[in-house]
Amino acid sequence: MPKVAYSEAEKAQVREALLTKGLELLAKQGIQHTTVEQIYKAVGISRTFFYSFFPTKESLIIEALYLQQPRVLVYAQKLMDAPSLSWREAVTQFLYACCYGEKMGS
């Protein structure tokens, strides 16, 4: 039976776990192939409880990207500086990595 009441500390831990697992799955699978169900099941909570933290998948993605902003900028700069890539190719590779994950983006 699912837990009914969580302390504020437990809620903070669950939120952190959602962001951590969300980032992990987004990096591997990309935005397109990562589902809310995959994230909340991996953390061990219900769909309803997930939505008490993030009203949409996009809201989790935005927060995750905000937390990863330094890494995202370094990756984007690395692509832009690559002599083998045109500006258009670098942007395309960056967007594919975001949408489809590390396998499609690399």
Does CATH number 1.10.10.60 belong to domain 1-66?
yes
DSSP 8-state assignment for residue 45? -
pLDDT band at 96 (very low <50, low <70, confident <90, very high): confident
- Write out pLDDT tens, residues 35-91: 999 999 999 999 999 999 999 999 999 998 888 889 889 999 999 999 999 999 999
* CA dihedral sign, ordered 4, 9, 15, 17: negative
**What pLDDT is stored for residue 100 in this prediction?**
82
The DSSP element (H or E) to which 51 belongs, if any, is helix 47-53
For the cut 60, the answer to whether the pLDDT of residue 21 exceeds it is: yes
User: Do the beta carbons of residue 94 and residue 79 sit within 8 Å?
Assistant: yes
